[in-house]
Chain A
Amino acid sequence: MLSETIKDELITIVGKDRYFDQKEDLITYSYDAFMVEGQPEAVVFPLTTEEVSKIMAVASREKIPVTARGSGTNLTGGSVPTRGGIVLVFTKMNKILKIDKENRLATVQPGLINMEFQKELAKDGLFFPPDPASMAISTMGGNVAENAGGPRAVKYGVMKDYLLSLEVVLASGQVIRTGSLTIKNVTGYNLTQLFCGSEGTLGLITAMTVKLLPLPETRRTLQVAYKDLEDAGKTVVKVVDLGILPVALELLDNVFINIIEDYTHIGLPREAEALLLIEVDGPEAAVEAQASQLNTLCQELGAIEVKVAKTAEENDEIWRARRSAYGAEARLRPTAIAEDCTVPIGKLVKMFREVAKIAKKHNLLIPIVAHAGDGNLHPQILTDIRDKNEMKRVEKAIDEISVKAVELGGTLTGEHGIGIAKREILPLELGEGVMEITRNIKKAFDPLNILNPDKVVQIQ
């Protein structure tokens, strides 16, 4: 527990109604969407940058760990206060500060929900592409801290590609501003990009300015079934040869196809080894032409079934299969661990096969869904956290999957982050040189090691 003096000081900053430390409150801030949990000693809800700064000044003086949190949808434990201390919740700092249509920019607070932002932008015919699966609830601050992406990354990239400027509160409480309101900027080191994906370990983001795009006129989805996974892999690579850059290329393996079909009965081909969803967007005429070219390509490459949506409703119908994936798997086992390994797209099929081998070796059920267009696989390890024996096999499988991804020239995590989950295995990919630099960066920004300690890198 925090001392009465510190408690009083925090209450002076945020007020009684935004400070909590009863057991029940501490439990509800002890977790995110990852397995590991840890309780804080206090929970505060600041409303302004100034309040955040004052909280950090107290935390620095008293060396109290501070874990920033948005909606708590992190999949790698990034928002779990493993060393207690203060959980600083941004959900009440959720305003859109400005939408600048002329310059196609917006400045927002960190607690703003991604989807709420999208809805407001759509009214002005604007569009913010990063679309993590959690976008209905995850916050913009969390999206920056995790450098979040989603299916649309194939064409539009991820959070880092839209960031222009950040307001950040440092560990000491000092407030800084990085970047500028311009697309081009080579003034000094690129601190904006350093904070992006830093998982709350370097500073607390209290405002961000992002680029916006005009909302595409329309979109069209194709659902393609393949008897052979190799053919689906070939399609992913060949699409670019047509001069088409799809918005999304999503791949489901045979295990998933059957799990989803068992649950939804929407008529997916059970014998197919792979189901590919391709989405294109743009002006109506262009989208029409691209859909037809894609249809031909898929047929040539051995597709056994191609469905092309004709209306917005049919688009949604096709995406229903993909959206049902997590619900369907949850009905099989109580725990699902979402892996996040990413490989060059030419190695996608190889990685699918390796995961299947690992699943067989450890006698585990691991269906795979992948953002195939950017090589990002989500093997879903289905298990029961209460089954200690099985969990040991799960841990081994996760390690083997990670090692394999790095061997194939890929990376441990495409969009979920390191957090607690991948911390131990981080040196495997980074090597000692980069680990050393990483630790030094952490020390430079957070000499007292109070900002989300134990995440990404551990400082002794």
Chain B
Amino acid sequence: MALQETQDIAYRCNKCGLCISTCPVYQQLLMEEASPRGKVQLAKHFFEGNLDLSKRFKEILMTCLLCETCMVNCPSGVQHDQIFADLRSQLVKKYGVGWKKRLLYLLLTNEKLLHSSSVFAKLGRNWLLEKFAKGMRVGNIPVGRLPTLNSKPFRDRFDGVILPEGEVKERVFYFTGCFTNYFGEDVGQAVVNVLKKMQLAIEIPSSQDCCGISMILSGEEELPLKNVEKNIAMLTREDIDAVLVDCATCGAAFKKEYISLLEKKGKDTKGAELLKEKTYDIQEYIADRIHLLPFRENGAGKRIRVTYHDPCHLIRAQGVHDAPRRILKALPQVEYVEMEGADTCCGGGGSFQFDYPEVSKGITDEKINHIRETGASILVTGCPGCRVTIGGNMDETDQIQVLHPIQLVDMVLAEDSETSNT
């Protein structure tokens, strides 16, 4: 039984306390309750029947970014993610998720609703901003620094397969995720531009559903199943060589969370395994084919200083560390500078930043300070959540652009072709 397995995991914890040193939440609160060890020990008491799913226990469990830093640094190999996921599902069963999240999940599980509500939301957001919200904040982020909605959903702009000029090397699916579809058309366009230069036939399935990870991570088990099963069925088509994602979180869903959710529900995981095999973060895919891109030394030297932030869902959930750095180092105009603590969580943690704004703010401020120390004019990171958190918390005086790495690649390529034309 799954619970027994999770209980055994909790017993692996030797209570050494090393996880505390890398836990961003602990470093803000300096209390054992906030630490991974504290949560695992409470879980042990819960499994042994000495502790209820009390309000306090719930609050302690939710004070966690799910950044998985504890897990990768644990000398005893404790799988914190599994313990936390199991406990969160139990919390959802007991307490529900609250009306705001319920509404959001209703949208995320229903693509048509999401699609039409985005049109109203666009009106609403712009109107709100003009009338009232200028000085308001969502969590720590001023409303004016939140991303704006696309003029129309990104996927609506494409119909059928996008073919490159000349020979087709491979055939790929581009899973845009909700963010690119509704907010990040610039990212989507950059991805399409770059992939076309690599001689790929790109299909952007218009019927794709939200990956469902926000529901899965908050402990919902039934609700996201429909999305999971539909996405698997659609994305594992035989004639497709690869499924590319531009969002670290969607990637983590396809490579990790789908399999564990299906396992937990006692369902067949074959499709999910196949999807895992086919899924690449866009940066992994491009880093391995970087020689196909026509970069040009334009004589200007390395004049753009860039730094990179590792999203939790990319470095820890997917183990992708080198690929983004390889891309950045290959750009002739870019001087890449590694920041201190590049792999430390940005403090966003999905809805964590709205539930615990003070803790989140401390972590994000530290991240932004490390970015400033590099003197970079551009920060790139392959996670929309991190971009919103980091960009939203910067000061007016920060002259630092926050982009997806592929936007930078696209910019450099565009500049190259401009200079070669003149």
Binding site for B on A (CB under 8 A): 22-25, 27-29, 31-34, 45, 71-73, 89, 91-92, 94, 111, 113, 115, 134, 136-138, 326-327, 330-331, 334-336, 385-386
Contacts and interface: CB of A to CB of B under 8 A. Distances in A.
B30 A136 contact: no
A334 B41 contact: no
15 contacts: A24-B54, A24-B57, A25-B33, A27-B41, A28-B31, A28-B42, A33-B14, A33-B17, A45-B31, A89-B32, A111-B30, A137-B20, A327-B77, A334-B8, A334-B12
B75 A326 contact: yes
Contact of A27 (B18, B20, B42): B42
Contacts of B74: 327
Contacts, number: 86
A94 B30 CA distance: 10
B16 interface: yes
Contacts of A34: 15
B344 to A, nearest CB: 14
Interface in B42-70: 42, 45, 51, 54, 56-57, 60
A22 B56 contact: yes
B42 A71 contact: no
B76 A27 contact: no
Given A137-B21, A327-B75, A327-B76, 12 more contacts: A24-B33, A24-B54, A72-B17, A92-B30, A134-B16, A136-B18, A137-B18, A326-B75, A327-B74, A330-B14, A330-B75, A386-B11
Nearest to B50: A27
A24 B75 contact: no
A27 B45 contact: yes
B147 interface: no
A31 B14 CA distance: 11
Contacts of B11: 334, 385-386
Contact of B51 (A27, A111, A134, A335): A27
B139 interface: no
B33 A71 contact: no
Nearest to A331: B77
B164 interface: no
B200 to A, nearest CB: 36
Nearest to B16: A33
A33 B15 contact: yes
Given A136-B21, A330-B77, A23 B15 contact: no
| Chain B interface residue bracket vs A | 20 to 34
Given A24-B42, A327-B77, A331-B77, A31 B21 contact: no
A270 to B, nearest CB: 22
Given A330-B12, A330-B75, A134 B17 contact: yes
B52 to A, nearest CB: 9
Interface string B15-38: 111101110000000111101001
Contact of B15 (A24, A32, A138, A327): A32
Interface string B125-169: 000000000000000000000000000000000000000000000
A334 B77 CA distance: 10
A383 to B, nearest CB: 11
A331 B78 CA distance: 10
Contact of A336 (B14, B21, B56): B14
A73 B21 CA distance: 11
Nearest to B10: A334
B41 A28 contact: yes
A31 B12 contact: no
Contacts of B14: 33, 330, 334-336
Q: Looking at A89, A92, A111, A137, which has the most chain B CB atoms within 10 Å of its CB?
A: A137
7 tightest Cβ-Cβ pairs between the two chains A and B: A330-B76, A137-B21, A327-B75, A136-B21, A91-B30, A28-B38, A28-B32
B20 A24 contact: no
A134 B18 contact: yes
A189 B17 CA distance: 36
A31 B37 CA distance: 10
Contacts of A29: 32
A417 to B, nearest CB: 15
Contacts of B22: 136
Given A94-B30, A111-B30, A24 B18 contact: no
A334 B35 CA distance: 20
A115 B17 CA distance: 14
Nearest to B54: A24
B158 to A, nearest CB: 46
B32 to A, nearest CB: 4
A386 B47 CA distance: 15
B305 to A, nearest CB: 23
Q: Looking at A24, A45, A73, which has the most chain B CB atoms within 10 Å of its CB?
A: A24
Interface string B65-93: 00000000011110000000000000000
A34 B15 CA distance: 8
Nearest to A29: B32
A23 B54 contact: yes
A32 B37 CA distance: 10
Contacts of B51: 23-24, 27
A32 B74 CA distance: 16
A111 to B, nearest CB: 7
Q: Looking at B32, B54, B60, which has the most chain A CB atoms within 10 Å of its CB?
A: B32
Given A73-B17, A137-B21, A386-B11, A28 B77 contact: no
A305 B51 CA distance: 54
Contact of B21 (A24, A32, A115, A330): A115
B156 to A, nearest CB: 49
Contacts of A335: 14
A100 B51 CA distance: 49
A28 B30 contact: no
B228 to A, nearest CB: 31
Contacts of A32: 15, 17
A31 B16 CA distance: 10
A31 B15 contact: yes
B193 to A, nearest CB: 38
Contacts of A28: 31-33, 35, 38, 41-42
B77 to A, nearest CB: 6
A143 B45 CA distance: 29
Nearest to A35: B15
A92 B26 CA distance: 11
Contact of B17 (A71, A94, A111): A71
A25 to B, nearest CB: 6
Contacts of A22: 56
B110 to A, nearest CB: 37
B60 A24 contact: yes
A94 B31 CA distance: 13
A385 B14 CA distance: 10
A386 B8 CA distance: 11
Contacts of B18: 73, 134, 136-137
Contacts of A33: 14-17
A136 B23 CA distance: 12
Contacts of A134: 16-18
Contacts of A72: 15, 17, 32
A92 B31 CA distance: 9
A336 B18 CA distance: 15
B33 to A, nearest CB: 5
Q: Looking at A27, A29, A92, which has the most chain B CB atoms within 10 Å of its CB?
A: A27
